[in-house]
Structure formats: C-alpha cells, structure tokens
Amino acid sequence: MSAPTGREAAAPLGERFDAYRRDDGGLGVRNRVLVVPSVICSHIVAERVAEASDRAVCAPHDHGCGQVGADHAQTERTLLNLARNPNVAGATVVGLGCEHLQSGPFAERVGEHGVPVRETAIQDAGGTDAALDAGVEATEELADAAAAADRTEAALADLTVGVVSSDLDPTTRDVADPVVGEAVDALVDAGARVVVAGTERLAPHRDAAAGRAAHGEVAEAMRAAGDRDAGRPGNAERIARRAAAAEFDEVVGTWGHSAVDEFVPYGGRATVEEGLALVDSPSRFEEAATALAAAGASVVVHVTADGITTGHPVVPVVKVTGDGTTAEALGGDIDLDARADGPDELLAELSRVAAGGRTASEGHGLTAFAINRVGPSL
C-alpha cells in the first residue's frame, strides 16, 4: 500500500523504517517466535520454552480442551491466525497429547500457511522435561532463522494498524477517541488498513452502525452483532448501557469517518487491502488485542481511561489516554496523553514504534493474552 497521488502525506506518514517481509506479503514491525500451547494443560511448558529464548514470546490460554462447536472453532481459528501475524517469524506448538485441539494437526495447519513451525507434545515426547528440551531446541532453531529474516523499507501506510477503545469514559469519548479517529482517517487516506474492535457498543445503535457499512453484507453483519450483544451480561452490558447514553458517533470516535469495508469474525483475518475493517470482538483489552493481532495488525493503539497497563505478547501496544488522573498517576505506562498531543503526535509515535522503539508496556515486560469465548466451556 502507498499514499495516494495528489495528496501530500503528513510527515509521520512519510517516514520510512525497516519492516520484516513475510512470505504471504505481510509486513511485521517485530520479529518474534511464537510459542503457542494448543491446550491449557501445556501452557506452563510453553511459557518455560519461551523464557529460554530472547526472541520468543508465549500466548498462554485456558482453552483447547472441553470446548465444542463454535467455541472450539473460534479458539483454533484465533491461534492459527495469531501464528500468521506478520510480527511472527515462526511458531512452536506445544501440546499435551490428549486434548481436543491436537498439537500435531494444528501445527500442520500453521505450516500450510507458510509459517515455519515446530511441534512437541508432552505425552509423545516422554514427559515434561523431554517436551521442554525439545521445545527449547526447536524454538532456538526458529530464532536463528528469524535473525536472517528479509527486511524491506516501509511506512505506516503499508501496515495494518489495530485500534481498541476499551471504555466509554467521558474523557475517552471527548478527548482521546477523537484524536485516534483523526489519525485513523489519515492512515486510511494514505492507503493503510485499520482494524477496529469493540462491537458491543453497536447494540443500542444498530441502525446507525449499519449506516456506516460500505455495502449490504457488512451492514447485515453489524446489525446481527448488535442484536446478539443486546442484553448480554457482564462487561458487554456495561459498555452497551454507556453507549446507549451517547450518540453513535461518540461511541465510535476511534473509527474516524470512513465507511466500514469488512466485518471480520473473532479470530479471523482481515482481507481488504486497505480501508477500515471492524473485528467482531468485545472491547475488553486482552480479548480485543488478541482479535486484532489475529486479524493481521502489527501494532495496536489502545485507548484507556482506566489505566490498563498491559500490552500483548505478539503486537506492540501504544497506550493513549485522555484522562488527567490516569495520565498523571501512570505517566510511565502511558505512551500518549491526548490532552496535550494530537493525531500527528500519535502518528509519529506509531512510526517510532514501527521502527523498533519500545512502547511503555514493552519496556516493562507487561503482557496479557486472552481469547474470547462464544459460550461456557464444558
């Protein structure tokens, strides 16, 4: 993707940096080996495997066993597309051996998409120690290969940028979200692909949401998501109640003004070349960041008034707040204070991070990982 002719790009959009070119054409801003447990029972071994390599990260989760139907399909889809994220240079799959989501067949699926992959299972390897040794050796092989990954010059317009605003606090709606929305408009105008999360806020605004769709199929999907989330308990209900008390444009301020070109299921991969895609994900940061990474985002913008400090193992997360108390109390955990900085400063921060600069959460080594559930596990 590149900036359209006839329009001079803002300085941050024109800045160049080295990105990692993957076999499927994706551009990553990090070069990590993902150690992914296929099941909750193997996540401790997977974490220890990742800890043995400076280049590896782990995605521990509590799924992969006792799930059926849509939940099982969603877990597998999410982990598969997470392994395909452009920041991932290779993946080591760690299984137990008796789980529903079997590590061997899953690793084969990962490899079918051109991702270098290795696999070990505790029961097949001969126990915990043997699986740990095999996983460490396999991950080191992938890490050595990752060091030689092809790099190419890129700009923000060449990337997929993820966005989630995890609350509807007044300072988020009035201060931070509009700043992000203007940056999103600039990215989309320049030819970038932007993926946004947070569908429960559509519930009280289903008609208005459908009106933002680029075509009928997307409108139908957005309206169906709103119908599903209407009255859903927990955090979704809280977000929906807050959304009902505000105008639609206020609760989707991070979207900018573009039409929504694609509706991506949770754990799915965005397919539009450029423009705005909506990912069917709750606004809760951990689940949303995973969905955005699976959709293909190589960097994520997270708006938080609550002061959520954690990042994500696969994608760097730029923390933005418009809340003065949060900005002052957590200055070392926030990357951009929207009370003082605008869209150009956010684009400049994204460019710095894409070029390899650490975010606050990366500097602190804070990550969180979660996969959304369709229904309760058995």
Domain annotation covers residue 10: no
Domain limits for position 139: 27-146
**Domain membership flag for residue 72:** yes
Over residues 316-370, the pLDDT tens digits come to 999 999 999 999 999 999 999 999 999 999 999 999 999 999 999 999 999 999 9
Q: Is the pTM of this model over 0.75?
A: yes
Average pLDDT for residues 15-29, to the nearest whole number? 94
Q: Is residue 161 part of a domain?
A: yes
Tokens standing for residue 155: 């700009």
Same domain, 92 and 215: no
Say whether both 62 and 172 belong to one domain. Answer: no
HEC profile of the chain: CCCCCCCCCCHHHHCCEEEEECCCCCEECCCEEEEEECCHHHHHHHHHHHHCCCCEEECCCCCCCCCCHHHHHHHHHHHHHHHCCCCEEEEEEEECCCCCCCHHHHHHHHHHCCCCEEEEEHHHHCCHHHHHHHHHHHHHHHHHHHCCCCEEEECHHHCEEEEEECCCCHHHHHHHHHHHHHHHHHHHHHCCEEEEECHHHHHHHHHHHHCCECCHHHHHHHHHHHHHHCCCCCHHHHHHHHHHCCCHHHHCHHHCCCCEEEEECCCCCCCCCCEEEEECCCCCHHHHHHHHHHHCCCEEEEECCCCCCCECCCCCEEEEECCHHHHHHCCCCCCEECCCCCHHHHHHHHHHHHCCCCCHHHHHCCECCCCCCCCCCC
Shared-domain flag, residues 122 and 198: no
Domain count, the chain: 2
* In a domain? residue 4: no
Q: Judge if 177 and 312 occupy the same domain.
A: yes
Average pLDDT over residues 275-289: 97
Same domain, yes or no: 118 and 191:
no
Which segment of 79-93, 230-244, 245-259 scores lowest on mean pLDDT? 230-244
pLDDT band at 232 (very low <50, low <70, confident <90, very high): confident
Return the CATH number at 184.
3.40.50
Would 5 be classed as within a structural domain?
no
Residue 167: pLDDT band (50, 70, 90) is: very high
Mean pLDDT for the chain? 93
The answer on 137 and 162 residing in a single domain is: no
